[in-house]
Homo-oligomer: A and B are copies of this chain.
Amino acid sequence: MRKSIATVSLSGSLTEKLTAAARAGFDGVEIFENDLLASPLSPEEIRARCADLGLTIDLYQPLRDVEAMPEEEFVRGLRRAERKFDVMRRLGTHTLLVCSNVSPHAVDDDALAAEQLSRLAGLAQESGMRIAYEALAWGRHVSTYDHAWRIVERAAHPALGVCLDSFHILSRGSDPKGTADIPGEKIFFLQLADAPLMAMDVLQWSRHYRCFPGQGGLDVPSLVRHAVNAGYRGPLSLEVFNDVFRQADAGSTAVDALRSLIALEESADISPLPAPAAPTGVAFAEIAAVDPLPVTTLLAALGFRRTGRHTGEPVDLWAQGDARILVNHGTGTRGDGPSLTAIGLETPDPHSAARRAESLLAPVLPRRRGGDDVPLDAVAAPDGTELFFCATRRPGHPDWTADFMAAADLTAASDERRDPSPAGSLTGVDHLALTQPWHHFDEAVLFHRAVLGLRPHESVDLADPYGLFRSRAMTGARGTPRLVLNLAPGPAPGTRTRAQHIALTTDDITAAARRVRAAGAELLKIPANYYDDLDARYEFAPGTLDAYRELGILYDRDEHGGEFHHCYTATVGRVFFEIVQRTGGYRGYGAANAPVRLAAQRR
């Protein structure tokens, strides 16, 4: 279906909004009146600009407080409407949105509303226009879509239909099934927005917290399915009022917006996408570091060995158990110290995953590796992280490890033979935590869900000494891979709020911590008060708590008895490492310990 966006959903001047919508790939726009009023472009110039950009103008919005009014006020409303039809003629658009009346002067009289809307529609028809009547959730007398439809039906004017808005319908808990009773040709327009489920005043909720479909908790696909089944063939159009989008860059918001509609078409069974090939694990994490020594020193202390060297690029492969870390010390890496720039995701069908990602507007990355490289499918996540779809050592698929020459000679041979996996060695990647850019958290969640097929878990707030972090885990169908998306408390500069981390698993946290310390790496110091509290809350086997206290091991227990043990290295550039041991089916990330950990990292 055609895809549109209301200009109010994007930041900037009208020109910036139109450009962003067109670049993202939208077919049309709704022109929000205030955006037109504030623009120095005449309606004719806006029309020409849209035509140049390949955008149609699908709706002009809104006319307010017009129906069910005392005659004198209604006539003033008609006069206002006539001027708006003139603007619409100049814009070259034909549908005017009329919101249900919120004025204290409005009369609770459906017959009057129908009669006046019919007169308005008559006037519209004379100018070649039509009226889409929408029930605002906080309309004075008309606040549900079925009520609006009863009035439109009663008015029985060919130039009068309804506009269905998913927020107004679903925020009130109305059942969208009733939309099936509306003839498709009387659904003049379909406005779409989602919203997080919040117990709050619906007007404030609508004005500040709407988001794109798939980013909130409303069942937008079901409404769309009903409207399409009823015969609606107009555009799917986004109308989102959101304090964050108002500040965010219009270009990336528009891409996020269009992605939400493409994913919506899939979930509403309108238009299929290449099937998701959800990742099952982490193939590798890549750290870029112009000066790799601080990272490689830390990796060595963590028990990693350099096992491979890329055949064409200055990239080394470090491995331990199933954990693989690439250290890229080539040019073109970022300037603020070592940072996590790429992730390899173990994927059942890398090529299909990449095609799906491309359909969902993920930028496909040029082959980065050297000429002889195995071709790898890769896309960029909204935070710039490069995501490689991998099939490590799986027959019938290109294997990225083939690009690496064995480099076991680079580590002391004696080391190798001593003990292949001593107690406390690290066995794999538990999770990767990525701090998302300010303004783009919901976009990141939608991307990882729709593009990669990961499942978002509940958002949690983590208290940092200087504000709340928002944190949301995304996991694969069987629990792995685990990616944790974090949002720093404010847009303040400084790398501390942009830290990323790689969490590695072990079967023996105490042995692992001792081993790392013995190898010369410092572990994050945790205050004694924390251990006094652990002692007050839990009973430990003799000596256990002393070891935790000595090594800086944090502990959490879930309500089912699952346990989580974890400790942290120092931060190198933007990156630090966590070592974790999970037992008893513990599924979280030790959120209860985050305030203590964050405070310790601030010191």
CB of A537 within 8 Å of the partner chain = yes
Minimum CB–CB distance from A462 to chain B (whole Å) comes to 11
Contact with B along A116-158 (1 / 0, CB 8 A): 0000000000000000000000000000000000000000000
Given A13-B602, A200-B201, decide whether A40 and B468 contact each other with a Cβ distance below 8 A: no
Q: Determine which residue in A38, A84, A525, A528 has the highest number of CB atoms from chain B within 10 A of its CB, and name it.
A: A38
**Distance between Cα atoms of A461 and B204 in the complex (Å):** 11
Q: Find out whether the CB atom of A596 lies under 8 angstroms from the CB atom of B37.
A: yes
CB of A465 within 8 Å of the partner chain = yes
Size category of the A interface is 35 or more
**Distance between Cα atoms of A200 and B199 in the complex (Å):** 5
B-side contacts of A83, CB under 8 Å: 532-533, 535-536
Q: Find out whether the CB atom of A37 lies under 8 angstroms from the CB atom of B467.
A: no
Q: Find out whether the CB atom of A37 lies under 8 angstroms from the CB atom of B533.
A: yes
A84 — nearest CB in chain B belongs to which residue? B536
CB of A247 within 8 Å of the partner chain = yes
Q: Find out whether the CB atom of A529 lies under 8 angstroms from the CB atom of B43.
A: yes
Q: Find out whether the CB atom of A599 lies under 8 angstroms from the CB atom of B536.
A: no
**CB within 8 Å of B: which of A1-43?**
11-13, 16, 33-34, 36-43
Contact with B along A520-531 (1 / 0, CB 8 A): 000001011110
Minimum CB–CB distance from A553 to chain B (whole Å) comes to 15
**Distance between Cα atoms of A52 and B455 in the complex (Å):** 52
**Distance between Cα atoms of A36 and B16 in the complex (Å):** 50
**CB within 8 Å of B: which of A450-497?**
461, 463, 465-468, 489-492
B-side contacts of A527, CB under 8 Å: 37-41
Q: Find out whether the CB atom of B38 lies under 8 angstroms from the CB atom of A599.
A: yes
**Distance between Cα atoms of A537 and B492 in the complex (Å):** 44
B-side contacts of A204, CB under 8 Å: 198-199
Given A527-B40, A533-B33, decide whether A465 and B12 contact each other with a Cβ distance below 8 A: yes
CB of A246 within 8 Å of the partner chain = yes
Q: Find out whether the CB atom of B536 lies under 8 angstroms from the CB atom of A80.
A: yes
Q: Find out whether the CB atom of B198 lies under 8 angstroms from the CB atom of A466.
A: no
Given A199-B200, A465-B11, A536-B79, decide whether A37 and B530 contact each other with a Cβ distance below 8 A: yes
Contact with B along A178-213 (1 / 0, CB 8 A): 000000000000000000001111001001000000
B-side contacts of A525, CB under 8 Å: 40
B-side contacts of A537, CB under 8 Å: 80
Q: Find out whether the CB atom of A599 lies under 8 angstroms from the CB atom of B533.
A: no
Q: Find out whether the CB atom of A468 lies under 8 angstroms from the CB atom of B243.
A: yes
B-side contacts of A207, CB under 8 Å: 461
Q: Find out whether the CB atom of A42 lies under 8 angstroms from the CB atom of B491.
A: no
**Distance between Cα atoms of A537 and B83 in the complex (Å):** 9
Partner of A529, one of B42, B199, B595: B42
**Distance between Cα atoms of A43 and B527 in the complex (Å):** 11
Q: At the interface, is chain A mostly helix, strand, loop or mixed?
A: helix
Copies in the complex: 2
CB of A374 within 8 Å of the partner chain = no
Q: Find out whether the CB atom of B532 lies under 8 angstroms from the CB atom of A87.
A: yes
**Distance between Cα atoms of A525 and B39 in the complex (Å):** 11
Minimum CB–CB distance from A142 to chain B (whole Å) comes to 21
Q: Find out whether the CB atom of A465 lies under 8 angstroms from the CB atom of B87.
A: no
B-side contacts of A532, CB under 8 Å: 83, 87
B-side contacts of A39, CB under 8 Å: 527, 529, 599
Partner of A37, one of B200, B247, B492, B529: B529
CB of A600 within 8 Å of the partner chain = yes
Contact with B along A568-603 (1 / 0, CB 8 A): 000000000000000000000000000110111011
A83 — nearest CB in chain B belongs to which residue? B536
**Distance between Cα atoms of A532 and B490 in the complex (Å):** 41
**Distance between Cα atoms of A361 and B82 in the complex (Å):** 58
Q: Determine which residue in A199, A461, A529, A533 has the highest number of CB atoms from chain B within 10 A of its CB, and name it.
A: A529
Given A13-B602, A466-B247, A536-B84, decide whether A530 and B201 contact each other with a Cβ distance below 8 A: no
Q: Find out whether the CB atom of B12 lies under 8 angstroms from the CB atom of A466.
A: yes
**Distance between Cα atoms of A41 and B599 in the complex (Å):** 13
Q: Find out whether the CB atom of A530 lies under 8 angstroms from the CB atom of B11.
A: no
A10 — nearest CB in chain B belongs to which residue? B465
B-side contacts of A463, CB under 8 Å: 34, 246
Q: Find out whether the CB atom of B201 lies under 8 angstroms from the CB atom of A38.
A: no
CB pairs A–B below 8 angstroms (24 shown)? A11-B465, A11-B466, A12-B466, A13-B465, A13-B603, A33-B533, A34-B463, A37-B527, A37-B529, A38-B596, A38-B598, A38-B599, A39-B529, A40-B525, A41-B527, A79-B536, A80-B537, A83-B533, A87-B529, A199-B204, A207-B461, A243-B468, A246-B489, A491-B491
Told that A34-B463, A83-B532, A200-B200 touch, could you supply 6 new A-B pairs with CB distance under 8 A?
A: A12-B465, A33-B533, A38-B529, A38-B595, A80-B536, A247-B490
Q: Name the 6 nearest CB pairs between A and B, nearest first.
A: A83-B536, A38-B599, A200-B200, A199-B201, A247-B467, A80-B536
